[in-house]
Amino acid sequence: MMRIAALQMQSVPGDVQANLARIEGAAIEAARGGADLLITPELGLTGYGAGEAITALAEPVNGDQLRALQAISSANRIVIIAGFAERDEADVYNSAAFVDGDNRPAIYRKSHLYGNYERSLFKPSNPANCIVEMGGLKLGMLICYDVEFPENVRRLALGGVDMVLVPTALPAGPSGTFIANHMIQVRAFENQIFIAYVNHAGADERFTFAGNSRVAAPDGSLLSACYDDAEQLIFADIDPAAFTVSSDNNSYLKDLGSA
Protein backbone atom coordinates (compact mmCIF):
# COMPACT_ATOMS: atom_id res chain seq x y z
CA MET A 1 0.00 0.00 0.00
CA MET A 2 1.13 3.56 -0.74
CA ARG A 3 -0.06 6.82 0.77
CA ILE A 4 -0.14 9.76 -1.63
CA ALA A 5 -0.73 13.46 -1.06
CA ALA A 6 -2.15 15.88 -3.63
CA LEU A 7 -1.54 19.62 -3.39
CA GLN A 8 -4.31 21.72 -4.93
CA MET A 9 -1.96 24.67 -5.18
CA GLN A 10 -2.28 28.38 -5.90
CA SER A 11 0.86 29.04 -7.90
CA VAL A 12 2.31 32.53 -8.25
CA PRO A 13 2.68 33.19 -12.00
CA GLY A 14 6.30 33.79 -12.92
CA ASP A 15 7.68 33.33 -9.39
CA VAL A 16 9.47 29.98 -9.32
CA GLN A 17 11.02 30.58 -5.89
CA ALA A 18 7.65 31.27 -4.28
CA ASN A 19 6.22 28.14 -5.89
CA LEU A 20 9.15 26.01 -4.77
CA ALA A 21 8.66 27.32 -1.23
CA ARG A 22 4.99 26.33 -1.35
CA ILE A 23 5.87 22.85 -2.60
CA GLU A 24 8.49 22.52 0.12
CA GLY A 25 5.90 23.38 2.78
CA ALA A 26 3.52 20.81 1.33
CA ALA A 27 6.29 18.20 1.20
CA ILE A 28 6.96 18.72 4.90
CA GLU A 29 3.25 18.44 5.71
CA ALA A 30 2.74 15.44 3.43
CA ALA A 31 5.70 13.59 4.90
CA ARG A 32 4.44 14.23 8.41
CA GLY A 33 1.10 12.79 7.29
CA GLY A 34 2.80 9.58 6.20
CA ALA A 35 2.73 10.19 2.45
CA ASP A 36 5.27 8.53 0.17
CA LEU A 37 4.43 10.69 -2.85
CA LEU A 38 3.36 14.33 -3.33
CA ILE A 39 1.64 15.38 -6.57
CA THR A 40 1.40 19.04 -7.61
CA PRO A 41 -0.36 20.74 -10.57
CA GLU A 42 0.50 21.30 -14.22
CA LEU A 43 3.21 23.97 -14.62
CA GLY A 44 3.12 24.44 -10.86
CA LEU A 45 6.70 25.74 -10.82
CA THR A 46 6.11 28.62 -13.24
CA GLY A 47 2.38 29.10 -12.74
CA TYR A 48 0.06 28.05 -15.55
CA GLY A 49 -1.00 31.57 -16.51
CA ALA A 50 2.47 33.14 -16.60
CA GLY A 51 2.30 33.55 -20.39
CA GLU A 52 5.48 34.51 -22.21
CA ALA A 53 7.42 34.39 -18.93
CA ILE A 54 7.12 30.61 -19.14
CA THR A 55 9.47 30.60 -22.13
CA ALA A 56 12.05 32.64 -20.23
CA LEU A 57 11.70 30.39 -17.15
CA ALA A 58 11.98 27.11 -19.06
CA GLU A 59 14.92 24.98 -17.93
CA PRO A 60 16.54 21.68 -18.91
CA VAL A 61 16.15 18.62 -16.72
CA ASN A 62 19.50 19.34 -15.05
CA GLY A 63 18.56 22.96 -14.28
CA ASP A 64 18.22 24.73 -10.94
CA GLN A 65 14.48 24.12 -10.61
CA LEU A 66 14.63 20.34 -10.62
CA ARG A 67 17.78 20.38 -8.51
CA ALA A 68 15.83 22.35 -5.92
CA LEU A 69 13.04 19.77 -6.08
CA GLN A 70 15.59 16.99 -5.62
CA ALA A 71 16.84 18.70 -2.47
CA ILE A 72 13.28 19.03 -1.12
CA SER A 73 12.59 15.39 -1.95
CA SER A 74 15.78 14.20 -0.25
CA ALA A 75 15.29 16.34 2.85
CA ASN A 76 11.75 15.08 3.41
CA ARG A 77 12.15 11.54 2.07
CA ILE A 78 9.18 11.96 -0.23
CA VAL A 79 8.85 11.60 -4.01
CA ILE A 80 7.48 14.70 -5.77
CA ILE A 81 5.60 15.06 -9.05
CA ALA A 82 5.86 18.64 -10.32
CA GLY A 83 4.86 20.38 -13.53
CA PHE A 84 7.48 22.60 -15.16
CA ALA A 85 8.48 24.17 -18.47
CA GLU A 86 11.24 21.97 -19.90
CA ARG A 87 13.74 23.44 -22.32
CA ASP A 88 15.44 21.07 -24.75
CA GLU A 89 17.68 23.25 -26.91
CA ALA A 90 15.28 25.45 -28.94
CA ASP A 91 12.14 23.55 -27.91
CA VAL A 92 10.01 24.07 -24.79
CA TYR A 93 7.73 21.32 -23.50
CA ASN A 94 4.92 21.29 -20.96
CA SER A 95 6.43 18.60 -18.74
CA ALA A 96 6.04 16.81 -15.43
CA ALA A 97 8.96 15.48 -13.41
CA PHE A 98 9.00 12.46 -11.10
CA VAL A 99 11.62 13.48 -8.57
CA ASP A 100 13.00 10.88 -6.16
CA GLY A 101 15.86 12.41 -4.23
CA ASP A 102 19.16 12.54 -6.09
CA ASN A 103 18.07 9.98 -8.70
CA ARG A 104 17.71 11.26 -12.25
CA PRO A 105 14.14 12.54 -12.61
CA ALA A 106 11.74 10.72 -14.91
CA ILE A 107 10.16 13.20 -17.33
CA TYR A 108 6.81 13.12 -19.09
CA ARG A 109 6.07 15.62 -21.88
CA LYS A 110 2.48 16.61 -22.65
CA SER A 111 1.34 15.24 -26.00
CA HIS A 112 -2.06 16.94 -26.42
CA LEU A 113 -1.79 20.70 -26.02
CA TYR A 114 -5.00 22.53 -25.18
CA GLY A 115 -5.95 25.70 -27.04
CA ASN A 116 -3.99 28.48 -28.67
CA TYR A 117 -2.44 29.55 -25.36
CA GLU A 118 -0.54 26.28 -24.91
CA ARG A 119 0.22 25.91 -28.61
CA SER A 120 1.86 29.34 -28.62
CA LEU A 121 4.22 28.32 -25.80
CA PHE A 122 5.03 24.64 -26.18
CA LYS A 123 5.96 21.93 -28.61
CA PRO A 124 3.75 18.83 -28.33
CA SER A 125 5.43 15.52 -27.65
CA ASN A 126 4.55 12.31 -29.40
CA PRO A 127 2.21 10.18 -27.25
CA ALA A 128 4.37 7.92 -25.12
CA ASN A 129 4.32 5.90 -21.94
CA CYS A 130 6.28 7.23 -18.98
CA ILE A 131 6.09 4.49 -16.34
CA VAL A 132 8.06 4.34 -13.08
CA GLU A 133 8.07 1.78 -10.30
CA MET A 134 7.69 2.81 -6.69
CA GLY A 135 6.85 0.81 -3.59
CA GLY A 136 5.89 -2.25 -5.61
CA LEU A 137 3.46 -0.27 -7.81
CA LYS A 138 3.78 0.87 -11.42
CA LEU A 139 2.91 4.52 -11.93
CA GLY A 140 2.23 6.31 -15.21
CA MET A 141 2.06 10.03 -15.93
CA LEU A 142 -0.16 12.22 -18.10
CA ILE A 143 -0.82 15.97 -18.05
CA CYS A 144 -4.28 17.58 -18.00
CA TYR A 145 -5.87 17.36 -21.50
CA ASP A 146 -4.00 14.09 -22.16
CA VAL A 147 -6.30 12.21 -19.76
CA GLU A 148 -9.38 13.29 -21.72
CA PHE A 149 -8.28 11.04 -24.59
CA PRO A 150 -9.16 7.48 -23.54
CA GLU A 151 -6.42 6.05 -25.72
CA ASN A 152 -3.73 7.62 -23.53
CA VAL A 153 -5.04 6.07 -20.32
CA ARG A 154 -5.71 2.71 -21.98
CA ARG A 155 -2.15 2.62 -23.35
CA LEU A 156 -0.77 3.06 -19.84
CA ALA A 157 -3.20 0.49 -18.43
CA LEU A 158 -2.09 -2.03 -21.05
CA GLY A 159 1.45 -1.20 -19.97
CA GLY A 160 0.57 -2.55 -16.54
CA VAL A 161 0.27 0.60 -14.45
CA ASP A 162 -1.57 0.54 -11.14
CA MET A 163 -2.11 4.31 -11.07
CA VAL A 164 -1.96 7.30 -13.42
CA LEU A 165 -0.76 10.63 -11.99
CA VAL A 166 -2.23 13.67 -13.71
CA PRO A 167 -1.06 17.21 -12.89
CA THR A 168 -3.68 19.49 -14.44
CA ALA A 169 -4.78 23.10 -14.94
CA LEU A 170 -8.50 22.46 -15.37
CA PRO A 171 -10.45 25.71 -15.92
CA ALA A 172 -13.65 26.56 -14.11
CA GLY A 173 -16.91 26.12 -16.05
CA PRO A 174 -19.40 23.44 -17.08
CA SER A 175 -16.86 21.39 -19.03
CA GLY A 176 -14.35 21.47 -16.21
CA THR A 177 -17.00 20.42 -13.71
CA PHE A 178 -18.03 17.49 -15.90
CA ILE A 179 -14.44 16.36 -16.43
CA ALA A 180 -13.64 16.41 -12.72
CA ASN A 181 -16.95 14.97 -11.50
CA HIS A 182 -17.45 12.26 -14.11
CA MET A 183 -14.66 11.66 -16.63
CA ILE A 184 -11.87 10.99 -14.14
CA GLN A 185 -13.88 8.32 -12.32
CA VAL A 186 -14.89 6.73 -15.63
CA ARG A 187 -11.26 6.58 -16.79
CA ALA A 188 -10.35 4.82 -13.54
CA PHE A 189 -13.26 2.37 -13.82
CA GLU A 190 -12.88 1.47 -17.50
CA ASN A 191 -9.21 0.64 -16.96
CA GLN A 192 -9.46 -0.70 -13.38
CA ILE A 193 -6.69 1.59 -12.14
CA PHE A 194 -6.26 4.51 -9.73
CA ILE A 195 -6.11 8.05 -11.09
CA ALA A 196 -4.78 11.03 -9.13
CA TYR A 197 -5.94 14.26 -10.79
CA VAL A 198 -4.38 17.35 -9.20
CA ASN A 199 -5.47 20.87 -10.17
CA HIS A 200 -4.59 24.46 -9.42
CA ALA A 201 -6.49 26.49 -6.83
CA GLY A 202 -8.09 29.89 -7.29
CA ALA A 203 -7.17 32.09 -10.23
CA ASP A 204 -4.33 33.98 -11.86
CA GLU A 205 -4.47 36.97 -14.20
CA ARG A 206 -5.38 34.77 -17.18
CA PHE A 207 -7.33 31.77 -15.85
CA THR A 208 -9.81 30.75 -13.18
CA PHE A 209 -9.37 27.14 -12.11
CA ALA A 210 -12.00 24.55 -11.21
CA GLY A 211 -10.14 23.03 -8.28
CA ASN A 212 -11.91 19.71 -7.71
CA SER A 213 -8.71 17.66 -7.41
CA ARG A 214 -9.42 14.00 -6.70
CA VAL A 215 -8.10 10.48 -6.40
CA ALA A 216 -10.33 7.89 -8.08
CA ALA A 217 -10.24 4.16 -7.40
CA PRO A 218 -10.62 1.25 -9.86
CA ASP A 219 -14.29 0.81 -8.91
CA GLY A 220 -15.02 4.45 -9.79
CA SER A 221 -15.28 5.63 -6.21
CA LEU A 222 -13.38 8.61 -4.81
CA LEU A 223 -10.73 7.92 -2.22
CA SER A 224 -10.19 11.63 -1.60
CA ALA A 225 -11.34 14.87 -3.21
CA CYS A 226 -11.45 18.65 -3.03
CA TYR A 227 -14.96 20.02 -3.48
CA ASP A 228 -14.05 23.62 -4.20
CA ASP A 229 -11.19 25.68 -5.64
CA ALA A 230 -9.42 26.49 -2.35
CA GLU A 231 -5.79 25.62 -1.82
CA GLN A 232 -5.54 22.41 0.20
CA LEU A 233 -3.59 19.20 0.69
CA ILE A 234 -5.45 15.88 0.55
CA PHE A 235 -4.33 12.31 1.21
CA ALA A 236 -5.31 8.90 -0.16
CA ASP A 237 -4.17 5.34 0.52
CA ILE A 238 -3.52 3.31 -2.63
CA ASP A 239 -4.13 -0.42 -2.11
CA PRO A 240 -4.78 -2.41 -5.30
CA ALA A 241 -5.57 -5.55 -3.25
CA ALA A 242 -8.65 -3.80 -1.86
CA PHE A 243 -10.20 -3.68 -5.35
CA THR A 244 -9.72 -7.23 -6.62
CA VAL A 245 -13.49 -7.80 -6.64
CA SER A 246 -13.91 -4.84 -8.97
CA SER A 247 -11.12 -6.01 -11.29
CA ASP A 248 -12.56 -9.53 -11.34
CA ASN A 249 -16.06 -8.28 -12.15
CA ASN A 250 -14.98 -5.68 -14.70
CA SER A 251 -12.24 -7.44 -16.68
CA TYR A 252 -12.03 -4.94 -19.54
CA LEU A 253 -8.29 -5.25 -20.17
CA LYS A 254 -8.36 -9.02 -20.03
CA ASP A 255 -11.30 -9.23 -22.44
CA LEU A 256 -10.13 -6.49 -24.81
CA GLY A 257 -8.48 -8.89 -27.23
CA SER A 258 -11.16 -11.57 -27.11
CA ALA A 259 -13.84 -9.74 -29.13
Question: Which residues are the active-site residues?
Answer: 42, 110, 144
Rounded-to-integer distance, Cα 7 and Cα 168, Å: 11
Rounded-to-integer distance, Cα 202 and Cα 228, Å: 9
Rounded-to-integer distance, Cα 47 and Cα 44, Å: 5
- DSSP annotation of 1: -
Rounded-to-integer distance, Cα 180 and Cα 147, Å: 11
Q: How many degrees, rounded to 5, is the angle at CA 189 between CA 185 and CA 191?
A: 120
Q: How many degrees, rounded to 5, is the angle at CA 80 between CA 76 and CA 81?
A: 170
Question: Are 167 and 39 spatial neighbours (Cβ–Cβ below 8 Å)?
Answer: yes
